[in-house]
Amino acid sequence: MTLASVVIVGAGQAGFQVAASLRQEGFEGSISLIGDEPGLPYQRPPLSKAYLLGKIQETNLLFRPSDFFTANRIDLQHDQVTAIDRQNHRVVLASGAALKYDHLVLATGAHNRPLPVPGADLPQVFGIKTKADADALAPLVRSARNVVVVGAGFIGLEFAAVAAALGAKVHVLELGERPMARAVSREMSELFRQAHENWGVRFDFRQGLSSIDSDNGKVVAVQTNDGRSLPADLVVFGIGVIPNAQLATEAGLEIENGIKVDANLLTSDPKISALGDVASFPCLHNGEQHTRLESVQNAVDQARAVAARLMCKSAPYSALPWFWTDQGDLKLQIAGLSSGYDSTVILGDAAEQKMSVLCFRNDRLVAVESCNRMGDHMAARKILTRAPKLTAAEAAAVGFDLKAWEAENRD
């Protein structure tokens, strides 16, 4: 089966990588890459970190220069797909055109969950998703004196660290009881809470906001749920995302917390794949439960898997999830998925801000969170892709070293 045409919807991390990997694998048919953002495909992680700080420039965000797309016959179209016509194997574009596909790839990502309070539409209220968001935010964060961050997840905290470094007073409101509660262990949350407080960030946990007040169209304050008024000239929220699954829903594809795909990343229509932030897939590293991950690793590895399958080199998707976030001078890296862990072993020292948390479920290592301990992270990525052997008791022994254990237990 050789395909004549692949159409990819969404020119973000996953969509770009499918196109690039297809050509690398020797695909000779046509590739249309349709994205509704202006410019060339770019990476998002620096938007809330180095790019916002001005440490890197616009061109440093790009995956490839424009001549790459021409040379590789990747037809990048700035347009929006408005409908999938499954019967006739074509997509309809906002510009009115229609495109035929032999195979369709949905890489539409996710959008920020909107802030559901009065005042959320004011011009000094931001979520960070696109380069346009970061470009609009950059000058404001430099002039802001009082910044309120809503949500102590990864992006909220990355931004809080940037704003504090640029001299603003930063106040974080979080409904949960600790930072990054859904993603990391209590021990790691605590290390990051202390670090942010040392940078001057204030936290209000179990706290939300009821409205954003303005004067002459400018944000002046945030009203908290317990009735306090916090001065603010800039509000940034990061309260989760909603998968861009509308096209798929309207086309009648199976949906379950995003577009539901099988172990080969195929949707309920065998001519349509989905991957990246929008796709919920049976995750080998999460007990084969359907899981939706928002990470560069997930987008890139799934893109390679889709490209390989389209080139008939099929293998079920099995890559180990890993992730990083940079906050101030701290790099947090996570290997594996810790959901449902029941015990932990700590390596290193929280006071020195060098610590790894080994997460076990039923005495089986499922994830390792490392702060400024890259060696542990890389060792964990190797250990977690092998047959399970490391027990919590072994790891808890005095002087245990994850890297040494990894080296001694290679296959």
Partner 1 sequence: MPTLTFIEHNGTEHKVKGDVGQSVMQAATFASLPGITADCGGACSCATCHTYIDDAWVSKLQAAEGMENDMLEYAFERRDNSRLSCQLIISEEMDGMVLHLPSSQF
Ligand X SMILES: Cc1cc2nc3c(=O)[nH]c(=O)nc-3n(C[C@H](O)[C@H](O)[C@H](O)COP(=O)(O)OP(=O)(O)OC[C@H]3O[C@@H](n4cnc5c(N)ncnc54)[C@H](O)[C@@H]3O)c2cc1C
Which residue's C-beta sits nearest to ligand X? 12
- Determine the 3-state secondary structure of 166 from DSSP: coil
Nearer to ligand X, 13 or 185 (CB): 13
Query: By the criterion CB under 8 A, which residues form the site for partner 1?
Result: 43, 45-46, 57, 59-60, 62-65, 68, 72, 296-297, 300, 324, 326, 331, 333, 372-375, 378-379, 381-382, 403
Return the residues of window 119-158 that contact ligand X according to CB under 6 A. Answer: 128-129, 155
Two tokens at 401? 């070293």
Two tokens at 11? 């020119």
Q: Does 277 bind ligand X (CB under 6 A)?
A: yes
Nearer to ligand X, 170 or 230 (CB): 170
For residue 3, with 0-12 CB atoms within 10 Å meaning exposed, 13-18 middle and 19 or more buried, which class applies? middle
CA 278 to chain centre: 11
Nearer to partner 1, 65 or 240 (CB): 65
Contact window for ligand X (CB under 6 A) among 105-113, 117-125, 164-172, 384-392:
105-113
Closest by Cα among 386, 337, 397 to 361: 337
Cα separation, 156 vs 161, in Å, equals 9
Among 6, 9, 76, 235, binds ligand X (CB under 6 A): 9
Q: Could you say which of partner 1, ligand X, none residue 59 binds, taking C-beta under 5 to 8 angstroms by partner kind?
A: partner 1
Q: Which residues in 29-62 are b (16+ Cβ under 10 Å) and which e?
A: ebbbbbbbbeebbbbbbbbbbbbbbeeeeeeebe
Q: Does 379 bind ligand X (CB under 6 A)?
A: no
Cα separation, 213 vs 338, in Å, equals 39
For residue 179, with 0-12 CB atoms within 10 Å meaning exposed, 13-18 middle and 19 or more buried, which class applies? buried
Nearer to ligand X, 44 or 171 (CB): 44
Smallest distance from partner 1 to CB 297, Å: 7
Q: Could you say which of ligand X, partner 1, none residue 63 binds, taking C-beta under 5 to 8 angstroms by partner kind?
A: partner 1
Q: Does 381 bind ligand X (CB under 6 A)?
A: no
Cα separation, 1 vs 310, in Å, equals 9
Smallest distance from ligand X to CB 245, Å: 10
Q: What is the dihedral angle through the alpha carbons of 110, 114, 115, 117, rounded to the nearest 10 degrees?
A: -170
Q: Does 370 bind ligand X (CB under 6 A)?
A: no
Two tokens at 299? 């987008």
Smallest distance from ligand X to CB 45, Å: 4
At a CB cut-off of 8 Å and minimum separation 6, what does 40 contact? 62, 63, 64, 65, 66, 69, 76
269 close to 238: Cβ distance less than 8 angstroms: no
Smallest distance from partner 1 to CB 285, Å: 17
The CA-based angle 359-363-369, given to 5 degrees, is: 10
Among 21, 124, 244, 356, binds ligand X (CB under 6 A): 244
Contact window for ligand X (CB under 6 A) among 215-223, 270-278, 380-388, 394-402:
270-278
Nearer to partner 1, 45 or 258 (CB): 45
396 close to 345: Cβ distance less than 8 angstroms: yes
Q: Does 336 bind ligand X (CB under 6 A)?
A: no
Contact window for ligand X (CB under 6 A) among 32-40, 201-209, 265-273, 339-347:
32-40
Nearer to partner 1, 56 or 94 (CB): 56
Cα separation, 171 vs 53, in Å, equals 19
Q: Could you say which of ligand X, partner 1, none residue 331 binds, taking C-beta under 5 to 8 angstroms by partner kind?
A: partner 1
Q: Does 199 bind ligand X (CB under 6 A)?
A: no
Contact residues: ligand X, CB under 6 A: 9-15, 34-37, 44-45, 47-48, 80-81, 107-109, 128-129, 155, 244, 247, 276-278, 294-297, 299, 323-325
